[in-house]
Structure 1
Amino acid sequence: MIKLVVAEDEQLMRDAVVSLLGMEPDLHIVGTAADGIDAVAAVREHRPDVALLDLEMPGMDGVQVVERLAAQALTLRCVIVTRHARPGVLRRALAAGVAGFVSKTVPAATLADVIRRVHRGGRYVDPELALTALDTRDSPLTDRELDVLRHVRPTATATDIAQAVNLAPGTVRNYLSSAMHKLGVHNRLEAADRARDHGWL
């Protein structure tokens, strides 16, 4: 019997996944969660064999959950499910040790098979998601622009970033402005998100 924790913030989707996977004779749902923080708590409490994690959840996203579990030395296999194939996220997930990366469009039987494969020690990446990850263009940003964007946070000022990268605040503003222009976005947070989504950061 494979013990599972299912983490999905949309209740209808979570209930559907639990119901469909619960019909598989070798899969046993031992816990559920509606956000990333509860997902970590559910894994700690129930010690499942596999965690099925939605990529986009409040609190922490699926990849951050995997990173937190690894930091706490909680040993299990993790599968990420997502609607959107963003190359940077896929690379981040694989680097974090995610064993499965699956589109939400797959049939329940396929998802069950992926869980079994992962439980046996295998890995699985949805072919369409993998293709998207390979089909990514080179970064138009300079190394300095990327370095500055790595330090962009919702509460970080240009002065904060300048201290982190050892540059003058005015120089940081120039790099941020240049990066925003190249990426066609309106603010520094969008620029950092765009760069991460493409796997440049």
Structure 2
Amino acid sequence: MIELVLVRHGITDWNAARRLQGQRDIPLNDEGRALVDAWRFSPPYDAVDLSVSPLVRCRETADIIKSNNPGLGDITYDDRLLERDMGIWAGRDLRAVETEFGDAAHDGGYRPEGGESRRDMLVRTRDFIAATATGGRPRLVVTHRGVIRAFYAIATGWDLTGETADELSRRRAQVFRAAADGSVEVAQLNLRLTAPTAN
């Protein structure tokens, strides 16, 4: 098994407005850049390669992380790390979706028209885990809330309906041990990312 260290991209204007982004390509805002700019990775995670969602909010996050953590290695972009495809929900206000669709808005099996259900994401998430676990070294994964929740579901058996039993802070890393069969187990939730050291 290898350790995969998952971080969620920094904040965007759509995050702040509670608009569903899905696979829409929304950049970080100033708050998001400042959040990520403070992240430092300590051993054994300070000299690993990165797997990154190709959406711009994750690419920006990875670039900032790499510029502030010079020991980190190569970046590989991977479509399996894309956020859930929200279909007709993309761009809509979350509260409006909750009002219109009720419990379906947070049902793990519900698939909005033209999009994915939360559970649909498990297939590509397991495929990523299986392929990456053969690498033999820890890896930093820059991705989205939906993917992190899919990892958590695979590790804990959560059915992806409602909210996770544990808080998964966007300001901290979630560490999982990954196996070549596509399974994971929780290694550490909410790993604190160290602040920059003063000169």
User: Could you say which TM-score interval applies, normalised by the shorter chain?
Assistant: under 0.3
Q: Which has the higher contact order (CA 8 A, sep 6+)?
A: 2
Task: Report the structure, 1 or 2, having the larger helix content.
Answer: 1
So what's the TM-score if we normalise by structure 2? 0.26
Structure number with larger C-alpha Rg: 1
